[in-house]
Amino acid sequence: MPKTLQNYNRHRRIGNSLNFDKSLNSLVGIVIICSLVVLAEADGYDEDKDALLKLKSAITEDPLGFTSNWNPKDRDSCSWYGVTCDSQSGRVTALNLSSNSNGSCSLLSLQAATGGNFSLLFPCLHESDGYKNYSSKLRGKLSLAIGGLTQLRVLLLGFNGFSGELPLEIGKLYLLEILDLGFNAFYGNIPLALQNCTSLRVINLSGNRFNGTIPVFFGQFPDLQVVSLSYNMLSGSIPEELGENCGSLEHIHMAGNFFSGSIPTNLGNCSELRSLILSSNMLQDDIPPSLGKLMNLQALDLSRNFLSGVLPPELGNCRQLEVLVLKHNHGTLYSRDNGSLQIQPAVEGEEDFNFFDGGLPDSITRLPNLRLFWAPNMNLVGVFPQNWESCPKLEMLNLAQNFFTGQIPASLRNCRSLYFLDVSSNNLTGPLPEEISISCMVVFNVSQNFLSENIPRISHHECPKMPGALSLLHVDLLGFYASFFYNKAIMSIAPLSSPSDGLVVLHDLSSNRFTGPVPPFLISSEKLSGRPLYGFWLGENNLKGNISIYSFDLCPSLDGLIFDIGNNKIIGELPLDMGNHCGCMKFLSVAGNQFVGSIPQTFSKLESLVSLNLSRNRLQGSIPSYFGRMEDLKYISLFSNNFTGAIPQELAQRKSLQVLELSSNSLSGKIPPDLTKLEHLNILRLDHNNLTGQIPSGFSTTTSLSVFDVSFNNLSGSVPLNPTLIKCENVQGNPNLQPCHTDPSSSEWERHSNFSQQGAYSPTGSIHRNSNVFNPIEIASIISASVIFSVLIALVLLLVCMRKFACNSVADPGSVRKEVVICNNIGVQLTYENVVRATAGFNVQNCIGSGGFGATYKAEIIPGVVVAVKRLSVGRFQGVQQFAAEIRTLGRVQHPNLVTLIGYHVSEAEMFLIYNYLPGGNLEKFIQDRPRRTVEWSMLHKIALDVARALAYLHDECVPRVLHRDIKPSNILLDNNLNAYLSDFGLARLLGTSETHATTDVAGTFGYVAPEYAMTCRVSDKADVYSYGVVLLELISDKKALDPSFSSFGNGFNIVAWASMLLQQRRPSEFFTAGLWDSGPHVDLIEILNLAIMCTGESLSSRPSMRQVAQRLKQIQPPAS
């Protein structure tokens, strides 16, 4: 072999050897890498498994056994309940332990299409789903080990009982896209560590107890689609940053928190936004017109805030809008009691806080996709919108309690899907359009207007298909609101009936000027197939005719009937067919008509009757005994008729009875003794009859009755001793009855007044001596008193010259008898002489206070009966007759938190007012003495609420409305139980129907006067709101309105500026009186402080009404101790 070839072969063998070595090295490298990957994945498996087991160990209750198969001996955790792993890596990517994971209310389906279904953002409210009082849920803490699931993209823990603060380790979930912790019991601040989760698309923290503010970094998540923070305790403003990078944002839900400030205008930049729910907060100022740029918006709820201004017509540009809720009076949608979810029960008088100006823009009525529009009690004015041609999909419309004029437009016939229409309590006139399909309406309410002419008969045309959303189990956001409002409507009849899941149809045409005969039932025959409960109100109209042959043929198709034709001009006898056909009747009122004859025997078939009102007619005969056999009967009103005979003994066997009114008839016989055994009887009126015998002694121990009247009969014997119930005026007019005596020392007799818990009486009497002999010490005392008296006279003259009335002593002005006009009888005769005598001639020693209107004296009329007499400066009020007329008006103003005007005297020479005496002093002294005693937060809250309720009554319920104009602590009086009463109301000025009134004289006290009132002399109810806010600030702090400690801040600095400064600097704890911040709930205290600052806002429109203030205070009522 040639040498060259040998060399070649040798080199080839060497090369092959080298190549083999290289291949071997490569293979070894691959093996090593694969081994490392396998080891890493194994470590990942172990890390995830370990984290899950630690999560399980932190769970204290697992009633459904969600984690029962989480076995530490398992090779991996991917088969465990609720755990989802990546098919490639085997790492945990989703954890779903929601107690609602299989329900329609879960956020689970948002993984595929975030926000694809509105219903996924709200909890179900159906009892059968277990959410009214559910206990089948996980409880415990969220372990710190959650941060070990580093590949997690979906975390669903909603509808459980997890508590504690959210661990900071959640910020290690860098890949997290969906975070659902809704409806648990987490608290504390939203952790800043969440800003590391930059891939978040859904953040649902609703229904917890998070506090603090919304983190601004929420606006930095580029893919964020859902932010749901409703029903927490978050405060502060909604950050502007949320609207700066919101191109993907579809849903913002922040209802039920304590957010303040304005709605950010740049939310109008969130072009993909589909729902904006900001209800039940403390947001102020106008609705931003920029919201009109949200072309994809489908639901907007701004109710239950402090918004003002005009409704922006730009909202008409939101062409996709389906749900528009601007105001409602039904409270928040949920309760967190024991962690449960439920519709809140209706609260008497509870109202929304938004207060708008102007009318309803036509652009809103032209929204083509609008299906639910809710705007009652919005202060809207002008002609009722006439153009509804562009709302063919409209289903629910509520514009009640506004100030609309004009007629109900026939164009509403174009809203062929409309089944709920409420335009009650407006100023609408004219006839009811025949074109409107009343018969197809589930709720039709036009009550309390001025509608006239005959009520049109129903037109028999096909009704649109009813939505399936009227049950509590909603299917989308529209269904949620529809079911909520519909169920609130039917709750109004709850005292009369407990409707099942069946349909309830309510048609209310009462309190108008309709004429003609009583129309037949307006319900469509199509609705009868479901056996609905039907309410038909026609009361307080001008309906005439005879209904003795009225048709009740539809009754057998009803599950229940409410029928009210009271206060019309109907004549004749009661219809026999009513009893024959309407065994389902729940409520019947024919009161205030001209019915004659007796109660038909057929009425015995009304076995379902709950309430019967036949009062104020001309009915005669005896009261049927079969009423006592009606098991559900609670209310019987037969007063002001011509009934004769005895009170049926059977009535006393009706244990369900709550109201029995038989007064002003010709009944005879005895009062059935068993009436005293009716545990639920609350009102018993038997006065103005011919009853004989004794008042049953059992009434001395009854506790259920609140009203009892047997006056003007022929009763005899003694009066049962029950000072809580039986007053002398309740038994007067019985000549054979033994004299009525009351115990002057009785604390119950002290509370005789209906309008004050303390009443007009002192808890202690005075001891009077009969001796007329003065000893030397007394003579010396008299001489000293005379000297002091002379000095005081000189001081009084000086003060009169300064036009400032103060306490003085004046002799009896004359012997001529002068009249005292009595406004509220206290059971003791009041004359000019005995009032002046009780004050010792307005002696300075009896003076208990003085103010801008005059001095107030304590006057003991007889032992144990004490009143307060305010002596007014003669000449201050011009026109005795005019002033007397105004005082008579004030005598009719009564509220539990107003001092009671018992009587007055007005003449050219003397003027004084007689009020109930309150021994607890005034709020000014209470605040001064507070450092010397411990006062609980609940007591301060009670005082604030008492005063707010009194002012709300003066502003909103009095006719004419009353402005106080001098609200300050010294004008707020207290009884021994620290119940608060507002005094001096109405003395400054009575206001008519106008909102404001110009005056040339600024009443009020420096430091409490609203700035616009001081500068322009223009007064409004919002000036009272400002003064109340200052008083509220004083009540919860240790400062006065113009405290000397404010001098270091410069001129003009007052308690309002101080409170605002501390709140802005996040130093609220420094504001509150000593010990209050440490003992009181911080969230409630901050809200009170926020509320007081809102009351003292510079802008009138930004200040809430006093009714709004009262309702807000009521919402944060401290728990009963």
Share of the chain above pLDDT 90, in %: 45
Mean pLDDT of 962-972: 88
Mean pLDDT lowest among 126-140, 634-648, 884-898, 1013-1027 = 126-140
Per-residue confidence at 339, pLDDT binned at 50, 70, 90?
very low
pLDDT of 400 over the 90 cut: yes
Can you tell me which residue has the tokens 């009887």?
681
**What residues are annotated to the active site?**
966
pLDDT score recorded for residue 1051:
60
pLDDT score recorded for residue 625:
93
Mean pLDDT of 900-913: 86
pLDDT of 97 over the 80 cut: yes
pLDDT score recorded for residue 1066:
76
Rg (CA), the chain: 37
pLDDT of 754 over the 50 cut: no
pLDDT score recorded for residue 795:
40
Measure Cα distances from 801 to 417, 752, 795, 854 in Å. Answer: 73, 41, 10, 14
Helix (H, G, I), strand (E, B) or coil at 173: coil
- Beta carbons of 500 and 527 less than 8 angstroms apart: no
The pLDDT tens digits for 289-307 are: 999 999 999 999 999 888 8
- Beta carbons of 306 and 278 less than 8 angstroms apart: no
Per-residue confidence at 37, pLDDT binned at 50, 70, 90?
very low
- Taking the domain 474-716, which CATH number applies? 3.80.10.10
pLDDT of 956 over the 90 cut: no
pLDDT of 904 over the 80 cut: yes
Binding annotation? 870
Q: Topology of 923-1115 in CATH?
A: Transferase(Phosphotransferase); domain 1 (1.10.510)
pLDDT score recorded for residue 459:
67
Per-residue confidence at 592, pLDDT binned at 50, 70, 90?
very high
Instruction: Give CA–CA dist 95/72, Å, rounded.
Output: 17
CATH top class, domain 221-232+239-453? alpha beta
Per-residue confidence at 94, pLDDT binned at 50, 70, 90?
very high
Binding annotation for ATP? 870
pLDDT of 1105 over the 80 cut: yes
- Check if 1-211 and 776-916 are the same fold: no
pLDDT of 364 over the 90 cut: yes
DSSP state letters, 954-994: HHHTSSS-EE-S---GGGEEE-TT--EEE-STTSSEE--SS
- Beta carbons of 513 and 541 less than 8 angstroms apart: yes
pLDDT of 488 over the 90 cut: no
Closest CA to 150 of 52, 30, 223: 52
pLDDT of 171 over the 60 cut: yes
Helix (H, G, I), strand (E, B) or coil at 1093: helix
Mean pLDDT lowest among 247-256, 890-899, 1040-1049 = 1040-1049
pLDDT score recorded for residue 44:
58
Q: What value, to the nearest 5°, has the Cα angle with vertex 964 and ends 963 and 967?
A: 145
The pLDDT tens digits for 180-208 are: 999 999 999 999 999 999 999 999 999 99
Mean of pLDDT over the chain: 80
Q: Topology of 776-916 in CATH?
A: Phosphorylase Kinase; domain 1 (3.30.200)
The pLDDT tens digits for 234-253 are: 988 999 999 998 999 999 99
Mean pLDDT lowest among 377-386, 426-435, 1107-1116 = 1107-1116
- Beta carbons of 109 and 96 less than 8 angstroms apart: no
- The most confident of the ranges 156-165, 879-888, 892-901, 1055-1064 is 156-165
Per-residue confidence at 111, pLDDT binned at 50, 70, 90?
very low
Instruction: Show the beta-strand stretches assigned E in 375-495.
Output: 381-383, 396-398, 403-405, 420-422, 429-430, 443-445, 450-454
Mean pLDDT of 120-128: 41
CATH H-level, domain 1-211: superfamily = Ribonuclease Inhibitor (3.80.10.10)
Mean pLDDT lowest among 119-128, 240-249, 853-862 = 119-128
pLDDT of 46 over the 70 cut: yes
Mean pLDDT lowest among 432-436, 604-608, 799-803, 1000-1004 = 799-803
- Beta carbons of 527 and 505 less than 8 angstroms apart: yes
Mean pLDDT lowest among 255-259, 510-514, 907-911 = 907-911
pLDDT score recorded for residue 461:
65
Mean pLDDT lowest among 385-389, 653-657, 983-987 = 983-987
Mean pLDDT lowest among 343-347, 571-575, 682-686, 986-990 = 343-347
Instruction: Give CA–CA dist 81/79, Å, rounded.
Output: 7
pLDDT of 136 over the 60 cut: yes
- Beta carbons of 64 and 136 less than 8 angstroms apart: yes
Mean pLDDT of 1084-1098: 88
Mean pLDDT lowest among 53-62, 261-270, 537-546, 781-790 = 781-790
Mean pLDDT of 339-349: 36
Closest CA to 619 of 566, 661, 574, 582: 574
Tokens of residue 1028, six digits: 């109340």
Instruction: Give CA–CA dist 399/428, Å, rounded.
Output: 12
Closest CA to 645 of 616, 623, 674, 671: 623
Mean pLDDT lowest among 293-297, 428-432, 764-768, 1014-1018 = 764-768
pLDDT score recorded for residue 60:
94
- The most confident of the ranges 287-291, 758-762, 962-966, 995-999 is 287-291
pLDDT of 426 over the 50 cut: yes
pLDDT of 809 over the 60 cut: no
Mean pLDDT of 378-398: 90
Mean pLDDT of 1056-1079: 84
Contacts 24+ apart (CB under 8 A), 124-131: 124/100, 124/473, 124/474, 125/341, 125/342, 125/343, 125/472, 125/473, 125/474, 125/483, 126/471, 126/472, 126/473, 127/472, 129/103, 129/473, 131/100, 131/159, 131/340, 131/341, 131/342
Mean pLDDT lowest among 21-30, 263-272, 1049-1058 = 21-30
pLDDT score recorded for residue 1004:
52
The pLDDT tens digits for 662-680 are: 999 999 999 999 999 998 9
pLDDT score recorded for residue 1001:
45
pLDDT score recorded for residue 760:
30
Return the amino acid letter for 638.
Answer: L
pLDDT score recorded for residue 484:
84
Mean pLDDT lowest among 485-499, 531-545, 1059-1073 = 485-499
3-state DSSP of 830-877: CCHHHHHHHCCCCCHHHEEEECCCEEEEEEEEECCEEEEEEEECCCCC
pLDDT of 117 over the 60 cut: no
The ranges assigned to domains in the chain are 1-211, 221-232+239-453, 474-716, 776-916, 923-1115
Mean pLDDT lowest among 262-271, 874-883, 895-904 = 874-883
pLDDT of 780 over the 90 cut: no
Instruction: Give CA–CA dist 835/1070, Å, rounded.
Output: 48
Pairing state between β 865-872 and 901-906: unpaired
